[in-house]
Chains A and B, each alone.
Chain A
Amino acid sequence: MRGVLSDRMGAALLMAPLLLFLGLAYAWPFLGVVKWSFTLPSPGLGQYEALLTDDLVQSVFIRTLRIAAIVTVVSVVAAYAITVVWVRGSPAQRLIAEFCILVPFWISVLTRAFGWVALLSNRGLINTWLQSIGFISEPLALVRNEFGVIVGMTHFLVPFAVFPLASAMRSLDDRVLLAARGLGSSRMRTFWTVFVPMTRSGIIGSAMIVFVFSLGFFVTPAILGGGRSVMIAELIYLRIFQSPDWGLGAAISVVLVLFVGALMALLFRYVRPKQLI
């Protein structure tokens, strides 16, 4: 009991600088934003009322949720495949997977977004190649739309989706998989009926992380969406920096933070923070 207490005290002490920093640099300014949402341009709940009636805000919210959902599914599936190779592959396969997972972290999100533009635009690599082999005659619309946004975001988020999955796969007892095979189950069947269900907590954690990240994406949708598929973070930016509508921008921020907070609370009911790294 004493050990547990002193462990907690120690952890609290080590966490203190971070908490202090978050409090001063994030929570305190955010309280200002909350205040704006109730006071600008005039005191009251007017901005929240507008949120419920403004068609543009609602369509952006719905688009954001849709894109986040698609990105989540695609990222988790891709990350699952990569993680299987990373955790259970041969040493060479592991090395390649690790390289693919870590390298994206060294390249800025901005560079990556422009990289995708170079690949996906009308005169980009993919369209010119497809045209040159005669597969298509007109360039495909791969960028400045939702498709481009989804590709760019998925590329950014897959490495983040890998870690909770890797943690779940590493803690899995190999003997259980052997047992399944010994009982007559093929590799495929063992994968679907034993391996995947046993990594459920990793899948939930991974999906939650990707989904929450997706909701707040700014740079990638701004560049790859080309202003035509505005997501919620970009909308907040537009409301505050381009149209002097600070109150509405603040109200959207507050709603987004509350929504993400609720999702995180839900996540931690199913998954321990330790399982996410």
Chain B
Amino acid sequence: MQQPGRAAEIKAIGIGKSFGSFRALDNLTLDIGRGEFLTLLGPSGSGKTTFLMILAGFVQPSEGRLFSDGTDITDRPAEQRAAGMVFQGYALFPHMSVEANIAFPLKVRKKTGAEIKKRVGEMIERVGLVGHEKKLPSQLSGGQQQRVALARALVFEPGVLLLDEPFSALDKSLRGQMQAEMKRLHQETGTTFVFVTHDQSEALALSSRVAIFNHGKLLQVGAPDEVYDRPDNRFVAEFLGEINMLPLKGVKPADNGSTGLCEDRAVRMNCTAEKVRGDAILAIRPEHMSIAREAAAGENGIAATAIASTYLGAATKLDLTTRQGAKVTVSVPNEVAAAALGKGNSVWLTWPAEKGFLLPHGGQ
């Protein structure tokens, strides 16, 4: 999006896109920092891919402006933006060898033969494709094709690399490997990466920031731990992983946090109750709750009955029901789960005050 070799800084202001009566993207304002690894996360149809296509220049926004390093690029066609792009299914040129695929963007830029040869060679080495130079894409494995796509998108040193669900076709172990490789490429090139996925674990593992989309709206942007531990709303909380939701009454601010009644027991949250008063929802991740014989006075805790357990290897998932009938899932060490199920099933669930957060009652 600017001179080669420099990471781009992108500003999207009030971007919207309608396809007929369908609102694909609504009033999106987002800054993408120089050299950051931003993931656009959301279910299909949430607008994340539309935004990526707008960044690439393949889709023209219905309203809003897009800036790259301070220059308005909203009306600039894709071939002049030249963001590196890795497509779902890779979109390699099937009639060209690995070498020719990677050389394509350099040839378009009329680089000299010697320079093309040198840079393609370096790129092939960097992505570990030495020995495959003359092969056609159809002769490569999925992982190798993925590497060609990455090499082709990075060889001309674009200011930003856009990736559209690049790993969706790979099996799990290969995915992990490619994710690590992509992280390495991000560090080595220093380029801005914008990555689209619907896989929340992938998003949390890779990115410096995650932007969560639903129904064409950007719901929250933040560092992985920020959005995971302190989601703004119910959708983000649920989309990023399993979460327990307990009804809370009489929520009110207290020194450096808030208090409320959970199943007639006073509980404390470190987060402030700015947006919610009275009735609310207390959300806690399964791995943040523990099983105890009893809860001490002043400690957050509710009584529950263990119903079933699922052995997951490293830990056990334990399903419980509270006295008032709320369903809770916790992730606990295997022997704790066995013990909880063993002694009459009646236990206490406890959690530290900083791990519970408030969501507005009802609504999304």
Q: Which residues of A contact B (CB under 8 A)?
A: 173, 175-176, 178-187, 189, 193-194, 197-198, 200
Please tell me if the beta carbons of B78 and A182 are within 8 angstroms of each other in the complex: yes
- What's the nearest-Cβ distance from chain A to residue B72, in Å? 19
Q: Are A186 and B79 in contact (CB under 8 A)?
A: yes
Q: Nearest chain-B residue to A197 (Cβ)? A: B95
Give the nearest-CB partner of A186 in chain B. Answer: B79
B45 to chain A, nearest CB (A): 18
Q: Which residue of B lies closest to A185 (CB)?
A: B108
Instruction: Label chain A's interface by main secondary structure.
Output: helix
Tell which of B93, B94, B108 touches A184, judged by Cβ atoms closer than 8 Å: B108
Q: A179 and B85 in contact (CB under 8 A), knowing A189-B108, A200-B95? A: yes
A197 to chain B: which residues have CB within 8 Å? 95
- Interface pair B109/A173, CB less than 8 Å apart: no
Contact among B79, B88, B93, B95 with A181 in the assembled complex (CB-CB below 8 Å): B79
Contacts of B85 on A, CB cut-off 8 Å?
A: 178-179, 182-183
9 tightest A-B contacts by CB? Answer: A175-B91, A183-B105, A179-B91, A182-B85, A184-B82, A184-B108, A197-B95, A176-B91, A175-B87
Q: A175-B87, A185-B108, A189-B108 are in contact. Are A180 and B82 (CB under 8 A)?
A: no
How long is the Cα–Cα vector from A181 to B108 in the complex, in angstroms?
10
Instruction: Tell me the count of chain B residues lying within 8 A, CB to CB, of chain A.
Output: 27
- With a cutoff of 8 Å between Cβ atoms, the chain B residues found around residue A194 in the complex are 93
| Nearest B-chain residue to A179, judged by Cβ | B91
* Chain B: minimal CB distance from A198 (Å): 6
How long is the Cα–Cα vector from A187 to B78 in the complex, in angstroms? Answer: 10
User: Chain B: which residue is nearest A175 at the CB level?
Assistant: B91
Contacting residues, chain A, for B95 (C-beta < 8 A): 197-198, 200
Q: Chain A contacts of B91 at CB under 8 A? A: 173, 175-176, 178-179
Picked from A176, A184, A187, A198, the residue with its CB within 8 Å of the CB of B109 is: A184
At the interface, yes or no: B235 with Cβ under 8 Å from chain A?
no
Question: Are B87 and A181 neighbours in the complex by a CB distance under 8 Å?
Answer: no
B residues within 8 A CB of A173?
89, 91
Least CB distance from B355 to A in Å reads 43
Q: Quick check: B93 and A176 within 8 Å, CB to CB?
A: yes
> Known: A176-B92, A176-B93, A200-B95. Is A183-B156 also a contact (CB below 8 A)?
yes
Chain B residues 49-63 with CB under 8 Å of chain A are 56-58
Q: Once bound together, how far apart are the Cα atoms of A90 and B81, in whole Å?
A: 25
Contact status A183-B94, CB under 8 Å: no
Collect the chain A residues with CB atoms within 8 Å of residue B239's CB. none
Complexed CA–CA distance, A178 and B80 (Å):
13
Cα A179 to Cα B83 in complex, Å, equals 10
Q: Which residues of B contact A (CB under 8 A)?
A: 56-58, 77-85, 87-89, 91-95, 104-105, 108-109, 152-153, 156
Q: How far is the CA of A194 from the CA of B105 in the complex (A)?
A: 13
From B89, which residue of chain A is reached at the shortest CB distance?
A175
Point out the residues of chain B lying under 8 angstroms from A186, CB to CB: 79
13 A-B contacts (beta carbon < 8 Å): A175-B89, A176-B92, A176-B94, A180-B93, A180-B104, A182-B56, A182-B57, A182-B81, A183-B84, A183-B104, A184-B79, A185-B104, A186-B79
In the complex where A183-B104, A183-B152, A186-B79 touch, is A178 in contact with B93 (Cβ < 8 A)? no
**CB-nearest residue of chain A to B81:** A182
In the complex, given contacts A175-B89, A176-B92, A183-B84, what are 16 additional A-B residue pairs having Cβ atoms less than 8 angstroms apart?
A175-B87, A178-B56, A178-B58, A179-B85, A179-B87, A179-B91, A179-B92, A180-B104, A182-B57, A182-B58, A182-B81, A182-B85, A183-B82, A183-B156, A184-B82, A198-B95
Q: How far is the CB of B117 from chain A (nearest CB, A)?
A: 18
Chain B contacts for A183, CB-based, 8 A? 82, 84-85, 104-105, 108, 152-153, 156
Closest chain A residue to B105 by CB distance? Answer: A183
Residue of A nearest to B95 (CB): A197
Shortest CB distance A1–B (Å): 25
Q: Are A181 and B78 in contact (CB under 8 A)?
A: yes
Q: Could you tell me the distance between the alpha carbons of A194 and B108 in the complex, rounded to whole angstroms? A: 12
Shortest Cβ gap from A173 to chain B (Å): 6
| B158 CB to nearest chain A CB (Å) | 9
Nearest CB of B to A179, in Å: 4
Chain A neighbourhood of B104, CB < 8 A: 180, 183, 185, 193
Chain A residues near B92: list those with CB within 8 A.
176, 179
* Cβ contacts under 8 Å, B105 to chain A: 183-185
- Shortest CB–CB separation between residue B176 and chain A, in angstroms? 25
Indicate if the CB atoms of B87 and A184 lie closer than 8 Å.
no
Bound together, the chains give a CA A227 to CA B307 distance in angstroms of 96
Kindly state the separation between the CA atoms of A181 and B76 in the bound complex, as whole angstroms.
12
Closest B residue to A173 by CB, please name it.
B91
Distance to closest chain A CB from B161 (angstroms): 11
Return chain B residues, CB-CB under 8 Å to A179.
Answer: 85, 87, 91-93
Q: How near does chain B come to A260, taking the closest CB pair, in angstroms? A: 29
B93 proximity list for chain A (CB < 8 A): 176, 179-180, 194, 198
Chain B: minimal CB distance from A61 (Å): 35
Question: Chain B's nearest CB lies how many Å from the CB of A159?
Answer: 27
Q: How far is the CB of A170 from chain B (nearest CB, A)?
A: 15
Within the assembled complex, what's the spacing in Å between the Cα atoms of A200 and B85? 26
CB neighbours of B153 from chain A (8 A) = 183
Q: Min CB distance, B364 to chain A, in Å?
A: 33
Closest to B86 in A: A179
A62–chain B nearest beta-carbon distance, Å: 35
Chain B residue with the shortest CB-CB distance to A174:
B91
Query: In the complex, which residues of chain B have a beta carbon less than 8 angstroms from the beta carbon of A181?
Result: 58, 77-79
Q: Tell me, rounded to whole Å, the shortest Cβ–Cβ distance linking A171 to chain B.
A: 11
